[in-house]
Structure 1
Amino acid sequence: MTNTPHPQCALELKSVRKNFGQSEIIRNTSLQVTGGERIAIIGPNGAGKSTLFNLISGRFQPTSGDILLKGESITRLKPYQINRRGLSRSFQITNIFHRLSVYENLRCAALWSLGYRYSFWQRLDGLKDAHQRAEQVLEQIGLQRRHSSIAGVLTYAEQRALEIGITIAGGADVILLDEPTAGMSRSESDAAVELIRKVSTGKTLLMVEHDMSVVFGLADRIAVLVYGELIACDIPANIRSNPAVQEAYLGGADASLSPARER
């Protein structure tokens, strides 16, 4: 039996487990994400969704199992090393440079991927490719009018858009978004969905999200995590009608996974 990954597999989890002391948080989880695919991870509170993201992004190391990015193991790598291999992550809590401008946030994110390292001898103003990358992402996320605004004064929705911009400015082709619409109004959430759809085109997206309208509006497949175990991963229509998912996620076999249930 070969361990060679599927040639189109951008991200693969192989029998991943994570224990904290005697508590098993992630239980023998395996998942394959095809290049260019959008997968949403759903599950009740305490299911282990954030822990799973922390394992993939390198904040935690698995107790056992392996995680592969484009066919190569990243299980023992540090977060910055994983990022340099093309995986970028946003967080539940907005993670930006509050005292820098919107443009400066995006330029900082672009520098390393363009080959620039720490140097006291280079002026940032002369780095045309970094400038072009920042301007391009600024347009993608719709914050051109906020170009010179200090990031800390942006609205919450604008800060979340900026964080998504930072996530993609480094050129990553595998993107992890952790509850990207949390705390948003319906109109803000709808705008965020369109932004995510636009910026993730041609990229691989793995997303943790509680808003079912966002999940069903964006995901090619939905993975359901319950008590650290992946109980299903399928297209949205099949997940909606799956009795095991209804029972585990909503607490009753007669419940339905309606896009409007969680808001």
Structure 2
Amino acid sequence: MSHALVIDDLKKNFGPAEVIRGVNLRVEKGEVHAVIGPNGAGKSTFFNLVSGAFAPTSGEVRLHGQRIDGLAPEKIQQRGLARSFQVSNVFGNLSVFENLRCACFKQSAAGYTFWRPAGSVKRANRRAEEVLAMIGLADLRDSPAGALPYASQRALEIGMTIAGEADVVLLDEPTAGMSNTETTQAIELIRQVAEGRTLMIVEHDMGVVFELADRISVLVYGEIIATGTPEAIRNDPRVKEAYLGEEAA
């Protein structure tokens, strides 16, 4: 299987503090790859490096064989990698539909131009309608995004992340703060998002991780200590000792 992401010896220092310490990772095309680890392991920093929010101190990130480390986030988005955030990132005063349409423009090569050809507007409208149906918010199309329930805002943000048709998607804590019912709905949405795409997910809920992931990597103190199938990770003594503990039983 070919690799969607190839990460080689990725490091990030903040002053004397070495937060990411030589991560090597292969994310296969079409898989759902979860990254787990204890608080302070460096998961958000790792996502920030891959998505361009931070420039690495050293190392390489390749998307479909092309280097993206050091590129600005919007350039990485235009190459086909999009990322959601732990905290809802929607525009509260805009409608659900307008949020999706903005995301379509933002992730296109002409996203920051004031004047746009009519064809691009039509494509954005059509794509926004498609995503609206996928995330189950068609009935709330014209509602202000800021008035949505929390779980619906998270669904909208996932929709905004995929609106530009990125084929590699990073989801940062997609079910954080959700009830059991909301989490079940989010899992179904993530499964839909995964169809035809490569997903990398940071997630604390082990039930979500073991239900969704094809493979799991465990990040501890800035280093990947294990990568494997959910069953292999569940039974890995290093992972039990470092992170999962009794949860793995």
Q: Tell whether the structures are fold-level matches, with TM greater than 0.5.
A: yes
Q: Deviations over 1:109-133 (max 9, x none)?
A: 1125555442347679x93221110
Residues 93 and 144, structure 2, Cα contact 8 Å, conserved in 1: yes
Equivalent in the alignment of 1:16: 10
Shift of 1:139: 0.3
Residues 89 and 167, structure 1, Cα contact 8 Å, conserved in 2: yes
Residues 224 and 231, structure 1, Cα contact 8 Å, conserved in 2: yes
Q: In structure 2, do the counterparts of structure 1 residues 142 and 228 end up closer, same or farther at CA, with 3 Å as the change threshold?
A: same
Q: Distance between the aligned counterparts of 2:160 and 2:184, measured in 1?
A: 20
Read off the aligned partner of 1:25 and give its amino acid letter.
V
Residues 78 and 109, structure 2, Cα contact 8 Å, conserved in 1: no
2:50 to 39, 56, 62: 56
Shift of 1:53: 0.2
Residues 110 and 116, structure 2, Cα contact 8 Å, conserved in 1: no
Given the alignment of the two structures, is residue 119 of structure 1 paired with residue 107 of structure 2, yes or no? no
Q: Distance between the aligned counterparts of 2:106 and 2:17, measured in 1?
A: 38
Residues 161 and 192, structure 1, Cα contact 8 Å, conserved in 2: yes
Read off the aligned partner of 1:257 and give its amino acid letter.
A
Read off the aligned partner of 2:212 and give its amino acid letter.
L
Residues 78 and 108, structure 2, Cα contact 8 Å, conserved in 1: no
Read off the aligned partner of 2:226 and give its amino acid letter.
A
1:204 to 183, 198, 223: 198
Equivalent in the alignment of 1:77: 71
Sequence identity percentage: 56
Q: Distance between the aligned counterparts of 1:257 and 1:17, measured in 2?
A: 29
1:1-263 equivalences in 2 (<5 Å):
8-113=2-107, 116-117=110-111, 118-120=113-115, 127-250=121-244, 255-257=246-248
Q: Deviations over 1:49-96 (max 9, x none)?
A: 000000001111111111111101111211111111100000000001
Read off the aligned partner of 1:96 and give its amino acid letter.
V
- Counterpart of 1:127 in 2: which secondary structure? helix
Read off the aligned partner of 1:119 and give its amino acid letter.
F
Q: In structure 2, do the counterparts of structure 1 residues 63 and 153 end up closer, same or farther at CA, with 3 Å as the change threshold?
A: same
What is the aligned residue count? 248
Read off the aligned partner of 1:224 and give its amino acid letter.
V
Residues 95 and 143, structure 2, Cα contact 8 Å, conserved in 1: yes
Q: Unaligned 5+ residue runs, structure 1?
A: 1-6, 259-263
Q: TM-score, normalised by structure 1?
A: 0.90
Q: Unaligned 5+ residue runs, structure 2?
A: none
Read off the aligned partner of 1:63 and give its amino acid letter.
T
Q: Which moved more, 1:72-81 or 1:158-167?
A: 72-81
Equivalent in the alignment of 1:3: none
Q: Distance between the aligned counterparts of 1:40 and 1:223, measured in 2?
A: 6
Q: Distance between the aligned counterparts of 2:109 and 2:76, measured in 1?
A: 16
Residues 114 and 130, structure 1, Cα contact 8 Å, conserved in 2: no
Q: TM-score, normalised by structure 2?
A: 0.95
Read off the aligned partner of 2:131 and give its amino acid letter.
V
Residues 43 and 249, structure 1, Cα contact 8 Å, conserved in 2: yes
Shift of 1:199: 1.4
Residues 74 and 107, structure 2, Cα contact 8 Å, conserved in 1: no
Q: Distance between the aligned counterparts of 1:14 and 1:115, measured in 2?
A: 28
Read off the aligned partner of 1:104 and give its amino acid letter.
E
Q: Distance between the aligned counterparts of 2:187 and 2:156, measured in 1?
A: 14
Residues 39 and 207, structure 1, Cα contact 8 Å, conserved in 2: yes
Read off the aligned partner of 1:94 and give its amino acid letter.
S
Q: Distance between the aligned counterparts of 2:201 and 2:238, measured in 1?
A: 22
Read off the aligned partner of 1:220 and give its amino acid letter.
D
